[in-house]
Chains A and B, each alone.
Chain A
Amino acid sequence: MTLPQAIEKLQTHFAAAVSAPVEFRGEFTVTVNREQIAAVCAFLKAECDFAMLVDLSGVDNYGTDPRYAVVYELCSLTDRSHLRLKVSVPEDDLLVDSVTGVWRTADWHEREAFDMFGIRFRNHPNLKRILMWDGYPYHPLRKDFPLAGLPAELPATAIEAGQVQTASMNGGPFVTAPGARTAARREPRQSDTALDRQDNKGTN
């Protein structure tokens, strides 16, 4: 299926939801209604051979309404054509349907768009920051974010955050008790303090 055929098929199937294609430098861009994007992507993959999602990027058109956009670059491996889809996202409702159900590669791309622009993706399996750290308060690729950055607290280390507990030294870093009954007792670690308390209770 050639690209004009695919676009025509898309337009007949989603008459109300897609715009007329815009051509620039031999590339075609179709603007899609925000509500329909997942359905359009599924249709293009299943019916028009667009097997690969090459790229997905957020865009901030600061000062215009709607302010944000999400851009999808689709690629067909059979006839080598390229199609761009575009969805506008208003500032007061930063939500787009995820296309991770259509292409699994969208996972990290959508996380990046969320991280950099704050655009949220409905039904995304794991929508959290990817390049910046969890808990970072800004979205750096927004146009109103300064190039020099803004001060922010650095993330706590795993130990500070209590995710990891350091082993109690018990007299040295590599203390072992060969011959003890369980692995926990042969290699005393953090949990031993609890075990010790139990033992103490037993002997008392």
Chain B
Amino acid sequence: MGTIHEMELIDSAARAQQALDGELGGERMILNMGPSHPSTHGVFRLVLELDGEEISNCWPEIGYLHRGDEKIAENMTWTQFIPYTDRLDYLAPLANNVAYAYAVEKLCGITVPPRCQHIRVVCAELARISSHLLGIGAMSMDLGALTVFLYTFQQREKIYDLAELLCGARFTTSYTRIGGLANDMPADFIPMCRKFIADLPATIDEVDKLLTRNKIFVERNRDVAVLSRADAIDFGATGPILRGSGVEWDIRKARPYGGYENFQFDIPTGTVGDCMDRYLVRMEEMRQSLRILQQALDTMPGGEWNAPEAKIVLPEKKAVLTKMEELIHHFINVTQGINAPAGEVYFSAENPKGELGFYIISKGGGTPHRLKIRAPSFVNLQLVPLLAKGHMVADMVAILGSLDFVMGECDR
């Protein structure tokens, strides 16, 4: 009892004086999110400085998943590096395979046959849908809508089945080769993919119904972490984040590669640049990807799937065992690597997370002199302090979800 009386004895003037002296206010709390917080999509540490519940400053710390991919690349042949690209954005390995293959092909100055281009478009778009399904599922789960995650994961499972049919692996696909593909698309892929295309819109609509006008979801995302057009460009943001801020920039349209100029699709853009817009852009991109997939399957050309470049593309195994010429090419290509010309190229592809670029310096010979990976997640994560300041701790989850990054490619 005595203590309670004592508390009441402090009158308001004394309290105000205390506040002025900094005894009550002014205490900043440092809070660690991570290194392995479940909502952080990988090992990523975020140090937050809090004023009450408001984030007054924040410092992202990355590098926990650094494996030295660029160093490794300098010490192996061009083809040997393909499995490492699976492990960049490991939620969309097929898209990374495609981007890397095009980059080395640009350096070598070769083009792949139309059938190969079409199959690669199918791969990249399936990867985009897979990545966005996870991005939206994880974002909504972090915000408390657990059901959506289960619906989207059911569909992702079907994409894994398709990948398995295509190349034997579900997750670490390594499907492309320099100048072609590991193998042709099997005959039963197209009907199975058509079934997936027919089934997915129902799931997207379901997610749409669950989230897009869900009061809780909207209130946690609308006007949260608004990224202006100018800031987005200045910070080098790409992908759904840049488009969410209203910039109509998609490399598939801006600098078409791999036959994307032959496909009809739209680029969705946002108007506000908040978390909600980034979510809406991803939703629409999945629908557009379905359009591309439909066209790619309808117009799938026949013929060869590997470029007719004996000194670059690995020959068929059957021929290696029976023919002298093929045996020699196989031996040289595997032991010494492709003899790429000297020069430097930058190739970038529109990946699910944004612009995945490969800057390659070749001094000639079988290995790169320097291979820089321009990872979209690395660049996009730099936005976190800008977006987080002034928001509540709970908003941080929505911000991270809407940035949809993956540490495998950020840390490389």
Report the minimal beta-carbon distance from A135 to chain B, rounded to whole angstroms: 13
A132, B355: Cβ atoms under 8 Å? no
Q: How far is the CB of B340 from chain A (nearest CB, A)?
A: 12
Interface residues of A in 110-159 (CB under 8 A from B): 112, 116, 129-133, 140-141, 145, 147
What are the residues of chain A within 8 A of B348 when measuring CB–CB? Answer: 54
Stretch touching chain B among A22-30, A89-97, A167-175: A22-30
Among B10, B235, B247, the one with the most A-chain Cβ atoms within 10 Å of its Cβ is B235
Give the interface SS of chain B, mostly helix, strand, loop or mixed: mixed
| Residue A103, interface by CB 8 Å | yes
Chain A residues contacting B372 (CB-CB under 8 Å) are: 55, 57, 71
The closest CB in chain A to the CB of B346 belongs to: A73
Contact B234 A24 (CB under 8 A): no
Contact A103 B236 (CB under 8 A): yes
Inter-chain CA distance A55–B238, complex, in Å, is: 12
Which residues on the A side are within 8 Å of B247 (C-beta)?
A: 77
Contact between chains at A59 and B379 (CB < 8 Å)? no
Contact code string B369-397 (vs A, CB < 8 Å = 1, else 0): 11010100011001000000000000000
A34 close to B (CB within 8 Å): no
What's the minimum C-beta distance from A71 to chain B, rounded to whole angstroms? Answer: 7
Contact A105 B235 (CB under 8 A): yes
By the criterion of a CB under 8 Å from any partner CB, how many residues of chain A are at the interface? 40
Which of A71, A103, A116, A130 interacts with B234 by CB under 8 Å? A103
Given A130-B63, A132-B66, A140-B68: A29 in contact with B344 (beta carbons within 8 A): yes
A108 beta carbon closer than 8 Å to chain B = yes
Q: Which one of B70-78, B89-97, B204-212 is at the interface? A: B70-78
Q: Which among B6, B255, B379, B411 is the interface contact of A80 at CB below 8 angstroms?
A: B255
- Please tell me if A37 contacts chain B, counting CB pairs below 8 Å: no
Contact across chains for B72 and A57 when beta carbons are under 8 A apart:
no
- Indicate if A104 sits at the interface (CB-CB under 8 A): yes
A129 → B minimal CB distance (Å)? 8
A193 to chain B, nearest CB (A): 19
Are A105 and B63 in touch, CB under 8 angstroms?
Answer: no
In chain A, residues 164-186, which have Cβ atoms closer than 8 Å to a Cβ of chain B? Answer: 179-182
Q: Find chain A residues with CB under 8 A from B72 CB.
A: 147
Verify B357–A73 contact, CB threshold 8 A: yes
A82 contacts B by Cβ under 8 Å: yes
- A130 adjacent to B233 (CB under 8 Å): no
User: Counting CB contacts under 8 A, is A52 at the interface?
Assistant: yes
* Residue of B233, B247, B249 contacting most chain A CB atoms (<10 Å): B233
Cβ contact within 8 Å between A54 and B374: yes
CB contacts (< 8 Å) of A27 on chain B: these are: 344-346
A179 to chain B, nearest CB (A): 4
Residue on A with the closest CB to B70? A141
Is there an interface contact between A80 and B254, defined as CB atoms closer than 8 Å?
yes
B7 interfacial contact with A, CB 8 Å: yes
For chain A, residues 1 to 46, give those with C-beta under 8 angstroms from any C-beta of chain B.
24-25, 27, 29
Closest to A29 in B: B344
* Given known contacts A84-B346, A103-B236, A25 and B106 CB-to-CB distance under 8 angstroms: yes
Contacts of A57 in B (CB 8 A): 359, 370, 372, 374
CA of A57 to CA of B70, assembled, Å: 11
Q: What are 23 inter-chain pairs, A to B, with CB distance below 8 A?
A: A24-B345, A25-B106, A25-B343, A27-B346, A52-B233, A52-B236, A54-B357, A57-B372, A57-B374, A60-B370, A73-B346, A84-B346, A104-B235, A108-B378, A116-B70, A129-B63, A130-B62, A131-B63, A141-B71, A147-B72, A147-B75, A179-B3, A179-B7
B-binding residues in A (CB < 8 A):
24-25, 27, 29, 51-55, 57, 59-61, 71, 73, 77, 80, 82, 84, 103-105, 107-109, 112, 116, 129-133, 140-141, 145, 147, 179-182
List residues of chain B with CB under 8 Å of any chain A CB.
3-4, 6-7, 10, 23, 62-63, 66, 68, 70-72, 75, 106-107, 109, 233-236, 247, 249, 254-255, 343-346, 348, 355, 357, 359, 361, 369-370, 372, 374, 378-379, 382, 411-412
In the complex, besides A73-B346, A84-B344, A179-B3, 19 extra interface pairs with C-beta distance below 8 angstroms are A24-B345, A25-B345, A29-B344, A52-B233, A54-B348, A57-B359, A57-B370, A59-B370, A60-B370, A73-B359, A77-B233, A84-B346, A105-B234, A105-B379, A132-B63, A147-B72, A147-B75, A179-B4, A181-B10
